[in-house]
Amino acid sequence: MKGTQHSTLKIQNSSINSPIRSSTLLTHPFKPIIDKTSEILILGTFPSIKSFENDFYYSHPKNQFWKILALIFNEKEPKTIKEKIEFLKKYKIALWDTICECTRDKGNSRDDNLKNIKPCHLENLLKKHSNIKKVAVTSRLAENVIKKYFKNSSFSILHSSLYLPSPSPLNARINLNEKAKKWKKLLQ
């Protein structure tokens, strides 16, 4: 699998190095985690502030993404970036986001604070990786980005993306075990 693009936060039109200021144009800091064996592409929206700080996807300690996958596959939860990449590869899961550039209103990572959205090049990724058989999203905003920006896509797999209940701790309507059950049903 390709490794992450460990880099500092890329900022345009601002001299302040923070992913919080609303006037700051943020650029997605990570490459997709994908290889020729990947079959399921899971798409989030855009990295959280904690993910920027920790240089990897779903890095907020309260986010349940890695816990859910560990439950589904009856595995120990991966902790390090290396363990997470190996876990994804083992289960043929690719990982990326739907938004590659945006501004973030207010000082938090909520999806409704993402503005001035520019989508990632999902069609280019799917063209390079025809081995992807299923696309799933982890938020309603990710789902809406696909519907808005890829409604005329020749990649039908984008039109049939699966909605996975958000792993965010803000999604408290469904407990961890229920989320894992729903994810397992959709991913298999």
Domains of the chain, by residue range, sit at 10-187
Among all residues, which ones are annotated catalytic?
A: 63
CA-CA distance, 39 to 132, in Å (whole number)?
Answer: 4
Task: Determine the pLDDT at residue 21.
Answer: 52
DSSP secondary structure letter of residue 111: G
Q: Which residues of the chain register pLDDT less than 70?
A: 1-23, 111
Query: In the CATH scheme, what is the homologous superfamily, with its name and number, of domain 10-187?
Result: Uracil-DNA glycosylase-like domain (3.40.470.10)
Q: What is the pLDDT of residues 48-65, one digit of tens each?
A: 888 989 899 999 899 999
Task: Determine the pLDDT at residue 176.
Answer: 94
Which of 108, 105, 120, 116 lies closest to 45 in space, CA to CA? 120
Task: Determine the pLDDT at residue 9.
Answer: 33
The reported pTM is 0.86
Task: Determine the pLDDT at residue 12.
Answer: 34
CA-CA distance, 132 to 47, in Å (whole number)?
Answer: 22
Q: What is the pLDDT of residues 90-103, one digit of tens each?
A: 999 999 999 999 88
CA-CA distance, 97 to 47, in Å (whole number)?
Answer: 8
Q: Which residues contact 2 (CB under 8 A, 6 or more apart)?
A: 31, 32, 33, 34, 35
Q: What are phi and psi of 108, to 5 degrees?
A: -145, 180
Task: Determine the pLDDT at residue 48.
Answer: 84
Q: Give the number of other CB atoms < 10 A from CB of residue 40.
A: 19
